[in-house]
Chain A
Amino acid sequence: MLKQILALTWKDLKVFFKDLGGVAVIFLQPFMFIVIMSYALGGLFEPGEDQIQLLAVNQDRGTQAAAILRQLDEMDAFAVETTWEGQPLSREMAGKLIVDGKRNLALVFPPDFSAVLEQDPAAEERQTTKILVVVDPATSSQFVEPILGTLQGLLERTTYTAMMPKGIDYFFERLAPQTPSEQREEFKAQAQEAMSGGLLGGQEPLVTMERTVPAGMHVEEYPDAFQQNVPGYTIYGIFWIVSLLAGSVLQEKREGTFRRLLVAPMNRVVMLAGKLLPYYIINLIQLVIMLGASSLLFGMNLGHSPTGLVAVSLAAAAAATGLGVLVSALVRTEAQVGGLTVLLLLTLSALGGCFVPRFIMPAWLKTIGLVTPHAWALDAYQDLLVRGYGLLDVLPKVGVLAAFAGLFFGIGVWRFRFE
């Protein structure tokens, strides 16, 4: 019995290792995924390397904003940029850098920032101010919230430090040695309030943060989790058509139906186009269902440009099915279909930002990501769904996706083995 088991094992190992393409893919696939995801998430888990870059527009006439920015910059996770190409950052410049996709978030400290923190606690009228947080609406809340939390902590600490000397003076002036204990308790409570900045009336903090989008984006409200996540997973999902298409082509070759079709009076390009079209349609149906269901079931806002959405969807589906033709041309066995598609799709999706936002990736990985159709499709969908852009704004990205589709299809047709 053992001999039979060993014989079967040996036979299957030989069969497996004969398919070198399949072997390479099986071992390469998890390795690639580990490498890419590790680099992509490196910025989050290894502070100090690949810091998150924050733009800061410091309009403060005092020193408090600079102190906060210095503390932020001293943290391993952040690199604060107050200048761009040698020029001090203005709010307009910061907004443009976000619109251009060079940065994701800018902090704008108001001119009265120090004055508000250093105001007299006994003053009759309490002054408050707000820091503007200009953020690309496509930026995941999971990324923005920790940054804002850190900033909030620094603000509270700064507020406390700025207010404390004046608060204590205030208490010394008011306290007398003969004060009864009830009164002392009351003063203690007031002192605590003073230290937290609340002495000046109410619980409203002196400094608040207001999230906004750069000028030029038409966003009525900050996007929810669906708007931020659906495009990424939709792109990831539609590219799985590659596996279906390549599997179907391989099946036709294996079962001889391709040979029968090749005998028929039909051009080979027509034959491939006919093979591609149904999968393109399936892809479009997939997009309609994913975006439609997210809108109908979860109330996801589909943006202001239905034509833009149609254009991006047509181009993204073309890129996905084009990649399917290319993979069909390269694979020879079932194992290769499974392995290569998983390898390609997970790698491209990860590089393209479907799993991890590209802005937290190291710069070199971000650049590599641009060679994936996923990155362009994702960016185009985010333009429409969360940045409030229209058809004209996304046309260049649609063009890039169409070029990807043409390139994939062209190489696929060139390398396709009909036999």
Chain B
Amino acid sequence: MPSSMIEINGLVKKYGERVAVKGVSFSVQEGEIFGLLGPNGAGKTTTISILATLLPPDGGQATIGGYDLLQETKQIKPLIGFVPQELALYPTLSAWDNLAFFGRIYGLGGPALRERIAAVLDLVGLSERAGDAVQTFSGGMKRRLNITAGLIHQPRILFLDEPTVGVDPQSRNFIFEHVERLKAEGMTVLYTTHYMEEAERLCDRVAIMDEGHILALDTLKGLIGLLGGGVIYIGLPGDALERLLPPIHALSHVLAASAQDGRLKIETSDARSALLELIELCNARDVPILSLEVLEPNLESVFLHLTGKQLRD
């Protein structure tokens, strides 16, 4: 098994005239949790659907587990587990029957299947409800079972497409712990989300996607490092913008500064210290501060910094 479990290069997907994925490239290492972070419509689900063999790409290459995505689909399918955004379960069947069905589809059977079902139900805390129809479950229980159904055949790579949508905080935590356990067991996970905190908590590396492009790809630390110590947006009177740029550049905690939409965007090595220096400078030059916004260094602000819009826009 190669150390790079997923390798994609210049992936393109079109729906008619609309290009949903525009030349996306990345690789995911074995045992890594790789996050695709972006707002709705960014192209995350399309990308994960291509990798899960659901959609044919219109361009680019990809290998999964070392196998070519287009030529060696048969070899890829047993390696992967897929948890779609929808609750892809049969609501009138019991949890046990659902898992038994998906297990049989993957060729499991007999005592091995029974043992596997019992083990995964225990893992997600649903053993006592095994015989109950799924339609009687809470939203969180359904989500947990939804993930379990993608794991029944013990895949090497798991595709999780927004697995916490519509889930209560308790079940969300349960899902996080479950994914962390999978990572500890060495599973490779590709995780799409538009929740920054999920990516921050779970992912080793994160690719930030928007409008079909990958805008940035790095470890959490690396991405946050894009903001340095944080970004300050400061609104000043029109005549002061150009006048103050050189002294701001000279401040010790400022990395870069530029005028943007009538404000100054100041990238810092330490936002708090830079803010104090800025206020001192404005007071000394008698320039009024019209507005002030400080972006703490986190994924949310990195996304805002990269796209100019909020993650949940």
CB distance from A181 to the nearest CB of B (A): 89
From B54, B55, B78, B88, contact of A265 by CB (8 A) = B78
Report chain B residues within 8 Å CB of A262. 53-54
Question: Chain B 69-91, CB within 8 Å of chain A: the 1/0 string?
Answer: 00000100110111011111111
Interface pair B74/A256, CB less than 8 Å apart: no
| B55 surroundings in chain A (CB, below 8 A) | 419
1/0 per position for A238-260, CB-CB distance to B under 8 A?
00000000000000000111011
Asked if A257 contacts B89 (CB within 8 A), the reply is yes
Is the beta-carbon distance between B150 and A260 smaller than 8 angstroms? yes
A256-B85, A259-B49 known; 15 new pairs, CB 8 Å cut-off, are: A255-B87, A256-B87, A256-B88, A257-B88, A257-B89, A259-B54, A259-B82, A259-B84, A260-B82, A260-B150, A261-B105, A265-B78, A265-B107, A266-B105, A419-B55
Of B52, B54, B85, chain A has the most CB atoms within 10 Å of the CB of B54
Number of A-B contacts (CB under 8 A): 47
- Give the complex CA separation of A257 and B88 in angstroms: 4
Complexed CA–CA distance, A259 and B89 (Å): 11
Q: Is the CB of B149 within 8 A of A265?
A: no
Complex A-B: 13 CB contacts under 8 Å? A255-B86, A256-B84, A256-B87, A256-B88, A259-B49, A259-B86, A259-B88, A260-B82, A263-B54, A263-B81, A265-B74, A419-B54, A419-B55
Interface residues of chain A: helix, strand, loop or mixed (majority): helix
**Known A419-B54, A419-B55: A264·B106 in contact at CB below 8 Å:** yes
Q: Mark B47-68, 1 if CB is under 8 A from A, else 0.
A: 0010011110000000000000
Contact of B84 among A260, A264, A265, A266 (CB under 8 A): A260
The 3 A-B pairs at the shortest CB distance, nearest first, are namely: A256-B86, A256-B88, A265-B77
Residues of A within 8 A of B78 (CB): 265
Determine the distance from Cα of A255 to Cα of B107 in the docked complex, in whole angstroms.
Answer: 23
A413–chain B nearest beta-carbon distance, Å:
18
B77–A260 touching, CB < 8 Å: no
Chain B interface mostly: loop
Q: Is B195 an interface residue (CB 8 A)?
A: no
Would you call B102 an interface residue if the criterion is a C-beta within 8 Å of the partner chain's C-beta atoms?
yes
Chain A min CB distance to B83 (Å): 8
A264 touches B77 (CB 8 A): yes
Q: Write the residues of chain A forming the contact surface with B, with a CB cutoff of 8 angstroms.
A: 255-257, 259-266, 419
Report yes or no: A260 in contact with B88, Cβ–Cβ below 8 A: yes
Q: Is the CB of B77 within 8 A of A255?
A: no
Residues of A near B82 (CB, < 8 A) are 259-260, 263
Nearest chain A CB to B81 CB, angstrom units: 8
Digitize B84-111: 1 where CB-to-A-CB distance is under 8 Å, 0 elsewhere: 1111111100000000001001110000
- Report Cα–Cα, A261/B105, bound state, in Å: 8
Chain A residues with CB below 8 A from B53, complex form: 262-263
Q: In the bound complex, do residue B54 and residue A255 qualify as a contact, i.e. CB atoms below 8 Å apart?
A: no
With both beta carbons as reference points, the residue of chain B lying nearest to A418 in the complex is identified as B54
A299 to B104: give the CA distance in the assembly, Å: 44
A272 CB to closest chain B CB (Å) equals 14
Q: What is the CA–CA distance of A204 and B80 in the complex, to the nearest angstrom?
A: 87
Interface contact B106-A255, CB-CB below 8 Å: no
Contact residues in A for B107 (Cβ distance below 8 Å): 265
Chain B residues within an 8 Å CB radius of A263: 52-54, 77, 80-82
State the CA gap A260–B159 with chains docked (Å). 11
Query: Which residue, of A259, A260, A264, has the highest number of chain B Cβ atoms within 10 A?
Result: A260
Residue-wise interface mask of B (208-237) relative to A, using a CB-CB cutoff of 8 A (1 in contact, 0 not): 000000000000000000000000000000
A264 to B81, CA, bound (A): 8
List residues 33-53 of chain B with CB under 8 A from any CB of chain A. Answer: 49, 52-53
- B residues in contact with A261, CB < 8 Å: 105
Q: Which residues of B contact A260 (CB under 8 A)?
A: 82, 84, 88, 102, 149-150
| Beta-carbon nearest neighbor of B150 in chain A | A260
**Chain A residues near B90 (CB-CB < 8 A):** 257
Indicate if the CB atoms of B88 and A255 lie closer than 8 Å.
yes
A262 to B73, CA, bound (A): 11
Q: How far is the CA of A216 from the CA of B242 in the complex (A)?
A: 108
Q: In whole angstroms, how far apart are the Cα atoms of A273 and B57 in the complex?
A: 27
Alpha-carbon distance A265/B78, docked complex (angstroms)? 6
**Contact partners of A264 in chain B: CB under 8 A:** 77, 102, 105-106
Give chain B nearest CB distance to A344 CB in angstroms: 27
Q: Which residues of A contact B149 (CB under 8 A)?
A: 260
| Smallest CB separation, A403 vs chain B (Å) | 32
Query: In chain B, what residue has the closest Cβ to A260?
Result: B88
Question: Which residue of A is nearest B88, CB measured?
Answer: A256
A256 partner residues in chain B, CB cutoff 8 A: 84-88
| Alpha-carbon separation in the docked complex, A388 to B83 (Å) | 57
CB B294 to nearest CB in A, in angstroms, measures 42
- Chain A nearest CB from B136 CB (Å) reads 16
